Amino acid sequence: MKIGFIGLGNMGAPMARNLLKNGHALQAFDLSEAALRSLAEAGASTCSSPKAAATDVEFVITMLPAATHVRAVLEGEHGVLAGIAPGVTIVDSSTIDPASAQAFAQMAAAQGNAFADAPVSGGTGGAAAGTLTFMVGANETLFASVSPVLGAMGKNIVRCGDTGMGQVAKICNNLLLGITMAGVAEAMSLGAALGIDPKVLAGIINTSTGRSWSSDTCNPYPGIIETAPASRGYTGGFGANLMLKDLGLAAEAARSAKQPIFMGALAQQLYQAMSAAGRGGLDFSGIISLYERRADP
Ligand code: NAD
C-alpha cells in the first residue's frame, strides 16, 4: 500500500520503518528535517507538508504529541484534509482526548473520509519490535479495513468500540499506570527507610498481591530490574511529561463525565511536582525522587 505517515518521533519513526520493512511505500512528513532525512535513508519518500504526504495515497497515519498537533496537521490549506482523496482512511495513533478524536472523525466524514483513533501501548521498544498493542476506535467495517496495516506495526490489534473508545481505553490504562508507579515508589521507599533490603522487598511484592508492571518490569528503585530506566539514570523510557499529559487527558475526560478520579488527581500532582523539579524529561518511574530522604543540616 502507499501510505502517508506524519509524525516521525520516538514512536512514529520506528513504526514507519516497520511499514517499510513490510513492503509498504511511504510518503512521510515531520517538522524535523533530521527525522525526515533518517526515514528517507530507510526508503521513504519525503514531503514538504501534511497535504503532500496525504496526496495520492491509500492510507494516512498520524503519530503526533497531542490533539493540537493533530488538528494543525489535518486543517488548513497545507493540511491532510486538503490533499486527501475521498474514501481514503486516516488513522491517528497519537494519545489524545476522546472528544477531539470524535471531532476529527466528523471533520473527515464531512468530506467523505473515515477516521479511526488507534493509540498504542508498548513504548519505543514495542514500536521498534513491531509488537505494539493498538486500541482502535472504529466501527466494525472500518476496523476490518485498518487492521492489516496496523498489523505491520503491532501484535495485538483490538477494537475497543466506536470512534473515541480507543482513546478511552488508552487514558484509563495510563491513569492506572501513573497511579501504580507512584504506589510502588512509595512502598519501595518506605521499605528502604525501614531497613529492608530493596531487592528482598521487590522479590516479595513481585510474588505477592502488590505486584504490577510498575513493580515487576519497570520497578522505580535503582538496581532491582536491570533493563528498567531506574537502572540507567531514568533515561530512555516513557517521559514524566507525557505521563502528566495523559493524566491531564484522564482528568479532563473525568470532568466531562462528572466522574471522580481521586487517585488520578493526586498522581497528576505528583508528576507535576516531578516536572516542576526539572525532571519531566526523565522516565516517569523517576517519581521515586519525591520520596528521597535527606539528613537534617
Ligand atoms: P515525539 O515528541 O518523540 O514525536 C512527535 C513528532 O511529531 C516529532 O518528530 C515532531 O517533530 C512531530 N511533530 C510535531 N508537530 C508536528 C506537525 N505539526 N507536523 C508534523 N510533525 C509534527 O513523541 P512520541 O514519543 O513519538 O509520542 C507520540 C504520541 O504517542 C504521543 O501522543 C504519546 O503520548 C504517544 N505514546 C508515546 C509512547 C512513548 O513511549 N514515547 C508510548 C505510547 C504512546
What pLDDT is recorded for position 35?
A: 97
Supply the residue whose CA is at minimum distance from atom 12 of ligand 1. 7
Task: Give the confidence band of 185 by pLDDT, cuts at 50, 70, 90.
Answer: very high
What pLDDT is recorded for position 214?
A: 97
pTM comes to 0.94
What pLDDT is recorded for position 125?
A: 85
Cα distance between residue 63 and residue 61, in whole Å: 7
What pLDDT is recorded for position 137?
A: 98
* 192-239 pLDDT tens trace: 999 999 999 999 999 999 999 999 999 999 999 999 999 999 998 889
**Domains of the chain by start residue, with CATH:** 2-162 (3.40.50.720), 168-291 (1.10.1040.10)
Ligand 1 centroid from CA 16, angstroms: 13
Residue 66 alpha carbon, nearest atom of ligand 1: 32
What angle separates helix 240-257 from helix 165-194, to the nearest 10 degrees? 120
* 4-48 pLDDT tens trace: 999 999 899 999 999 999 999 999 999 999 999 999 999 999 999
Please report which helix (H) or strand (E) contains residue 229, including its range: none
Asked if the model's pLDDT at residue 123 lies above 90, the reply is: no
Please provide the DSSP assignment of 43-80 as one string: T-EE-SSHHHHHTT-SEEEE--SSHHHHHHHHSSTTSH
Supply the residue whose CA is at minimum distance from atom 15 of ligand 1. 69
Residue 7 alpha carbon, nearest atom of ligand 1: 7
Residue 29 alpha carbon, nearest atom of ligand 1: 20
ipTM value greater than 0.90: yes
Asked if the model's pLDDT at residue 260 lies above 90, the reply is: yes
Using DSSP's 3-state secondary structure scheme, residue 232 falls into helix
Any residues with Cβ below 6 Å from ligand 1, and which? 6-12, 29-32, 35, 63-65, 69, 72-73, 94-95, 120-121, 123-124, 238, 242
Asked if the model's pLDDT at residue 175 lies above 90, the reply is: yes
Task: Pull the grid cell for residue 143.
Answer: 476496523
Ligand 1 centroid from CA 210, angstroms: 32
Q: Could you list the active site residues?
A: 170
CB atoms within 10 A of CB 43: 13
* 139-165 pLDDT tens trace: 999 999 999 999 999 999 999 999 999
What pLDDT is recorded for position 236?
A: 81
Report, as an integer, the average pLDDT of 47-58.
98
